[in-house]
Structure 1
Amino acid sequence: MALVFQWLVKIATALIVLCVLSVLLIYYLASRSLPEYTATAEVRGLQAPLEIVRDNANVPHILATTDQDAFFALGYAHAQDRLWQMIVLRRTAQGRLSEVFGAATIETDTIMRRLDLYRLSVASVDAQTPATQSALEAYARGVNAQLAQINKGAQGRGAPELFVFNAPMAPWRPADSIAIGKLMAVQSTGHLKQEILRARMSLALPDAARLQDILPDAPGTGVASLPEYASLIPNAPRFAQVPAPISHPLSPFKMRGHAGASNAWAAAPTRSATGGTLLANDPHLALTAPSIWYLARMNLSTGAVIGATVPGMPVVLSGRSDALGWGVTTAYADDQDLHIEEVNPDNPDEYRSLDGFKPFDVRPSIINIKDADPITLTLRWTENGPVLPGSFENLRSITPAGHVVSVAFTALSPRDTSLSAAIGVMQSRTVAQAVDAAAAHIAPAQNLTLADRNTIAMKTIGALPRRDTGHQSQGRMPTLGWGKANRWDGRLPYTSNPGFVQPVGGILGNTNNKMVERPFPGHVSFSWGDTQRVQRWQRLMQARQVHTRDSFVEAQLDTVSFTARSLLPLIGAELWFTGEAAPDGTPARKRQRALTLLASWNGDMNEHLPEPLIYSHWVRALQDRLMRDELGPMASVFTHLEPLFIERVFRNIDGASIWCDVIQSAPKESCPDMARLALDDALLEIEERYSGALESLRWGDAHQAAQDHPTLGQVPLLRYFVNIRQSTSGGDNTLNRGLSRGTGNAPFQNVNGAGYRGVYDFADPDSSVFIMSTGQSGHFLSRHYDDMAQLWRRGEYILMSLDADLARAAAVGVTTLVPEVQ
């Protein structure tokens, strides 16, 4: 027995030692790919020596003598810190994820191949300006130089993920950067899904009034610039001027409501306390670890620039120079149309065109799949665009027999000059120059907010399709592809895109809200991204006669929900005071406690409060009760609160209160009845989900920012090292937007928000600030993987300075690159 025990001890000891050695080996291999920032390297493709000075936040300050070398160094830095992210973005655009991830990504690859983004990107290289082509080539050389350094120095394949996934890295090409831009266009628009949804709802709700309830047009005439402060506040004192943001995590097709969003606003010198212009921007995208954003500074011949880049693209998309600041918000322009194409019943290789049946443009495409046989797709295009599979968004459910669906999309241009436009804006010195440069932008449609030292402006950039006045659905639903009136006739002139320069009121901004009221076809869009945040923004902007950098920061971080403040008085109107106190422990008593809390709440979605949690569960339960009776399982499509729908119902606009009556029941239920029942539903769910008294609950426990690694985030054990979770304030409709997941066991988890925030002050440009939601490094063993995450959560920023000496003063490393001696 003693001998057996001795052997068991030896075996256990051996296993422990083996495990420790395995962990140490894994750590050693993974740590080999940690970049060394204090180094000197000889690289091919460089014109002159340069330095990459990394400040204490690991933001690279690229000090080069030529523009080509600056773009080279940016590519080098991107590949140092975000190589895996670049690999995945490129493979997504190419439709080649399944080569690495197997069958799980076949659906994503299939739709990306059908859109043919990468072939169109290759074709678009020749359409770029000579300066942009030079930048793309230099950037690609920089990426490839870092790949050569990885191979030369045995630097652990360049990223720890490459030990888990066998994804050979082909050399970077200029077309790869254009493809990533096109991929972002796919991520940033939701009109395709909106058309499908409206088609389904029109079938389920033949009453046009009820369809208008559930998919209403954004009300109002549009907001961009605000009126003069004095016209709103009579006799307001004037201060003297002081002299100067579905499916598989890798799919670019996000759930409804999860397409791109953002905030941007600017103040003219007349509305600035220091007499200089101000600009704030916080783009909203899916929260991931690492963030999609990467902070960088470059010396260019037109002046140094600093701000947010996307690894894989040689451009600062939101940032500033010493003379100009720029920011972007998703414009929600209607840049997609679905077409029902009739297939020739006598020849399935033909479809009906304006001149009768003609052959599809056909091309085979092979998808290689890890651990499985490859599949061959037949890509089909019509005159309107690529044919989509019936499985995509269940298109077959709205497609007649003998027909297929194609999509027209501005991003499917073989002469996409959007990257040239972005580089042109980055190199501009004035608002006027930037507006002119942005004329080349194609997709995604964006609202470009600008500020130089004296002028503020906003311009919608991107191709807006020219539609016929006789278009059958005005772009709202799929239409017959062979109908001439349903087809696009080129694009509207850039000069007709909405634009606002130096408004009289001195303030302009956008929260993805409706900007203009125009008749079709110059309408820009029927479906806008926001009707709520803009209300709070207007209040904050007009509450002060003059603004400062700090007041713009305060607005970015604001967590008061206009939606909660407007809906609670409506849905609780007959519930606040219900007579005698109910016995403790009864549903009525719980309801009274909840209503007592909500009655004194100001709508602040603060992470430490219980009221946001109660409110969110209540309105979620209420909307489900109202919709599910009429829509059945289709109600699950509406994963987030639809504020305009709730308001229409409780105000009985055009008879919308009919939604409150349960069709299957004999009694006639009223809206207060539904509100009361929904509150009981919510309180029951809260009791089941959370422990503790109602008053002790925290919104932040449910509203955790889930910044997950897209590929390692689901790996057991490893996910605890690569995923970043934080309690956060805000909500779906607050300026500090934290869009909830909407589905699953954690419906209020924060999954989409401001991964980047920047505020630029041109009275003192080097006092400008910015922050990102994770850290600069994509390597989970690096201290810079998440070193900005807590600052971001707490609403703190870091200085955004172009002062090279300041960067050197606390640098974490200086990389010197010198041309390779031939």
Structure 2
Amino acid sequence: MKKSLTLLTFFILLVLGSNAQNINPKNIEIVRDSFGVPHIFAKTDAEVAYGLAWAHAEDDFKSLQDVVLPAKGLMGKVQGKAGAAGDYAFALFRCMEITEAKWNTLTPAFLKLIDGYVQGINAYAKAHPNEVLHKKIFPITAKEYIASSVLALTAFNGADKALMAIFNNTIETDTELNKKGSNAMAIHPTKTNTGEAFLLINAHQPNTGSQAFYEAHINSEEGLNVHGGLLAGGPCILHGVNENLGWAHTVNYVDRVDVFQLEMNPANQKQYKFDGEWIDLEEKIITLRIKGIPVGVKRKVYWSKYGATMKNKQGFFSIRLGANMDIRALEQWYYMDKAKNFTEFYAAIKDQRLSMFNITYADKHDTIFYVNNGLVPVRNPAPQYNWKSTLPGNTSQTLWTGFRKFRELPQYVNPKNGYVFNTNHSSFFATDAANNLKVEQFPLADGWETWHNNRSMRVVEQMPDTQLDYTTFKKIKFDKQLPDTLRYPYNIDTMFILNETTYPQVASLITTLNSWDKKGTADSKGAAVFLLSYLHLSKILAGQPARSITLQEALTTYQFVHDYMMKHFGKTDLTLGDIQKLVRGDKEWPLWGFPDLLSPQWTANYKDGKLKSVGGDGLIMFVRFTKNALPQIETVNMYGASAKKGNKHFDDQVEMYINQQTKHMTLKKEDVYKMAERVYHPGE
């Protein structure tokens, strides 16, 4: 019987691999609401995935193509030298090889979903050839699509930083002043004044491109009814809410990546020592094809027992992490989408198919939950091994082969105080002091986060001891106040204690900053001085250990702010909104926020000295759960549903976003049709 089941599974996989599933787009309806958000309805999950791919392609086909370029070896051909790095990483981390080797670990139901998604994006490409970035991208296969997701998760897990550190002959520190982050919060019904559970879903992502959140609703007769956000290439909702429960992701920084220096054979530089024996490095020559260069560029990629291996001036280094050892991350999200209660949700996540991300959860059945999720290696705790630094790559004592079991990860279920939250800070400050886990309960070698940040401290400062009302819950998220004590990696108190009479050239700026209420509102002059100071210090202190800035650094910073304002604006009497803008197309708006506020922004140069937001709140979702009704959902997305200039939904949510207002969404099918702006089948 077991043998026949195995043969049956093989046959199903073979059929799916050949795209035998033939989806008729007439069976799929895309309902666009008044904000252009797509609601996809069909009988099967695979048909819904087809419709989701089509709708997302209508709004941002370029980003969907960007995701699959490395699987085709075309990043360099489309994006130039910068893109070639993605092609190199795809080969280096063996994304296709691991996909081939692990293909039979994917379930038949999930493969049907992926097959439907791939059919949808291929169909769109065929119908819109003028939008295709390169003639060799399409059609894509399911395996190429999954292999691309392996690369994306490998980079997300921190392999990209390790790769660049080796390439640049440096080891990066973890004290970046401009570290980005996200917010998530779950409130138990016993903590709210209405007896509802509250959930905040608020990942901070880039404003545009393949890592920007796309809002959608998918509904099938096979159990999908989910509204939320996904990144380009997502075949289902990556975080959001279904009829019974919802969850939010935030990036976690538990140590998931290790770098090993190999001990090379002086007589043969293609051999490394391992447990006293010389072992041949695996070597492969790849060809990178780069836009503007007529001939392919040959590069070598290496592999050791530790994994992907690179050579620099210091020798050979290997990068090891769990993200490129599994291909089932998208599958886990699919089963999270379909969960009906906490038991099913926990079952979907406990197999650890998803290699990273905090998960904050709430449902209508009186459960809230938080876990610092990830593939955390079980490392040798011997004191001679410093797992925060480069490890010796010559012994099985450092070659970990397994991961912490899910039950061993920091997690909370219904803490007594009634809330859990994460702002990319420590799992050991996820609730109040009386109910927090203790760092001593977990192995030191795991590298768990142990810090507060400005956002986490502001949540603590604002969370009432009594019951929480919904208005206050939203107010906490939209807060623009820094905490009483700043939690940036570098202490800038020196800037606040200077006497303006001693330094007349920058006296007005010192006075402005000293009188600042530490709020990041667009009309704040103190916030303008602070943001420019922040950006200057983040540049000059990058890579240095956390410390207090010196008097000279404070003076230099004030002088930089003065010179910058005078050069570009001719005056120093400026507000944050004068300098910082939300830009969409040829329009711009004064904008609040800066890094590590609960309402954050991070910026890039724009024009005439002005800065534009390139990342921040992204998709914001507030959810209320009651026992006998569908969840109440409010959302806002920074720009709008479409990335295509000229589309009326290109920027129709900007004013709402700036004013921190929301739109009401629903999972109820008949209500979706009532507010429909357009109903159509893919291809119409």
Q: TM over 0.5, yes or no?
A: yes
**Paired residues of 1:189 and 1:260 also in contact (CA < 8 A):** no
Query: Could you tell me which residue of structure 2 aligns to residue 607 of structure 1?
Result: 522
- Alignment partner for residue 106 of structure 1, among 81, 84, 105? 84
- Alignment partner for residue 575 of structure 1, among 498, 518, 533? 498
Cα distance in 2, alignment partners of residues 487 and 382 from structure 1: 11
Query: Could you tell me which residue of structure 2 aligns to residue 704 of structure 1?
Result: 581
**Paired residues of 2:644 and 2:650 also in contact (CA < 8 A):** yes
Q: Structure 1 residues 325 and 446 mapped into 2: Cα distance closer, same or farther (>3 Å)?
A: same
Question: 1:174 aligned to 2:96?
Answer: no
Q: CA deviation at 1:756?
A: 1.3
Report 1:448-463 matches (<5 A): 448-453=359-364, 454-463=366-375
Cα distance in 1, alignment partners of residues 217 and 357 from structure 2: 23
SS of corresponding position for 2:272: strand
TM-score by length of 2: 0.85
Q: Structure 1 residues 303 and 61 mapped into 2: Cα distance closer, same or farther (>3 Å)?
A: same
Query: Could you tell me which residue of structure 2 aligns to residue 645 of structure 1?
Result: 547
Question: 1:345 aligned to 2:266?
Answer: yes
**Paired residues of 1:192 and 1:338 also in contact (CA < 8 A):** no
Cα distance in 1, alignment partners of residues 664 and 255 from structure 2: 37
**Paired residues of 2:452 and 2:487 also in contact (CA < 8 A):** no
1:253-275 per-residue CA deviation (whole Å, 9 max, x = no partner) reads xxx67776311001000111221
Cα distance in 2, alignment partners of residues 122 and 746 from structure 1: 50
**Paired residues of 1:190 and 1:259 also in contact (CA < 8 A):** no
Cα distance in 2, alignment partners of residues 77 and 678 from structure 1: 47
Query: Could you tell me which residue of structure 2 aligns to residue 304 of structure 1?
Result: 225
**Paired residues of 1:565 and 1:603 also in contact (CA < 8 A):** no
Any gaps of 5 or more consecutive residues in structure 2? Answer: 1-20, 429-438
1:306-331 per-residue CA deviation (whole Å, 9 max, x = no partner) reads 11122322120111111101111112
Q: Which amino acid aligns with 1:533?
A: R
Once the two structures are aligned, what percentage of the paired residues are identical?
Answer: 20
Q: Structure 1 residues 289 and 485 mapped into 2: Cα distance closer, same or farther (>3 Å)?
A: closer
Q: Structure 1 residues 191 and 130 mapped into 2: Cα distance closer, same or farther (>3 Å)?
A: closer
Report 1:14-25 matches (<5 A): none
1:701-721 per-residue CA deviation (whole Å, 9 max, x = no partner) reads 3333467xxxxxxxxxxxx56
**Paired residues of 2:271 and 2:281 also in contact (CA < 8 A):** yes
**Paired residues of 1:289 and 1:774 also in contact (CA < 8 A):** no
Q: Which amino acid aligns with 2:494?
A: I
Q: Structure 1 residues 187 and 686 mapped into 2: Cα distance closer, same or farther (>3 Å)?
A: farther
Cα distance in 2, alignment partners of residues 565 and 471 from structure 1: 34
**Paired residues of 2:379 and 2:446 also in contact (CA < 8 A):** no
Query: Could you tell me which residue of structure 1 aligns to residue 297 of structure 2?
Result: 375
SS of corresponding position for 1:459: strand
Bigger Rg, structure 1 or 2: 1
Q: Structure 1 residues 811 and 544 mapped into 2: Cα distance closer, same or farther (>3 Å)?
A: farther
Which of 1 and 2 has higher RCO (CA within 8 Å, sep 6+)? 1
Cα distance in 1, alignment partners of residues 121 and 171 from structure 2: 51
Q: Which amino acid aligns with 1:554?
A: K
Cα distance in 2, alignment partners of residues 341 and 547 from structure 1: 55
Any gaps of 5 or more consecutive residues in structure 1? Answer: 1-42, 205-213, 217-255, 391-395, 629-634, 650-659, 661-670, 708-719
1:476-496 per-residue CA deviation (whole Å, 9 max, x = no partner) reads 111111133322131111110
1:415-444 per-residue CA deviation (whole Å, 9 max, x = no partner) reads 322222111111111123212211233444
Number of matched pairs: 647
**Paired residues of 1:83 and 1:158 also in contact (CA < 8 A):** no
Q: CA deviation at 1:611?
A: 0.6
Moved more, 792-801 or 754-763: 792-801
**Paired residues of 2:166 and 2:317 also in contact (CA < 8 A):** no
Cα distance in 1, alignment partners of residues 441 and 170 from structure 2: 23
Q: Which amino acid aligns with 1:690?
A: F
Cα distance in 2, alignment partners of residues 200 and 50 from structure 1: 50
**Paired residues of 2:522 and 2:592 also in contact (CA < 8 A):** yes
Report 1:664-813 matches (<5 A): 671=551, 675-676=554-555, 678-692=557-571, 694-695=572-573, 697-705=574-582, 725-741=588-604, 749-763=612-626, 765-813=630-678
Question: 1:273 aligned to 2:193?
Answer: yes
Q: Structure 1 residues 520 and 499 mapped into 2: Cα distance closer, same or farther (>3 Å)?
A: closer
**Paired residues of 1:773 and 1:792 also in contact (CA < 8 A):** yes
Query: Could you tell me which residue of structure 2 aligns to residue 364 of structure 1?
Result: 285
Cα distance in 1, alignment partners of residues 451 and 610 from structure 2: 20
**Paired residues of 1:71 and 1:142 also in contact (CA < 8 A):** yes
Q: Structure 1 residues 574 and 366 mapped into 2: Cα distance closer, same or farther (>3 Å)?
A: closer
Question: 1:318 aligned to 2:296?
Answer: no
Cα distance in 1, alignment partners of residues 537 and 297 from structure 2: 46
1:219-250 per-residue CA deviation (whole Å, 9 max, x = no partner) reads xxxxxxxxxxxxxxxxxxxxxxxxxxxxxxxx
TM-score by length of 1: 0.72
Question: 1:77 aligned to 2:55?
Answer: yes
Q: CA deviation at 1:612?
A: 0.9
Query: Could you tell me which residue of structure 2 aligns to residue 36 of structure 1?
Result: none
SS of corresponding position for 1:602: coil
Cα distance in 1, alignment partners of residues 605 and 542 from structure 2: 10
The two structures, once aligned, show a CA RMSD in angstroms of 3.5
Query: Could you tell me which residue of structure 2 aligns to residue 53 of structure 1?
Result: 31
- Alignment partner for residue 343 of structure 2, among 409, 428, 432? 432
Q: CA deviation at 1:78?
A: 2.5
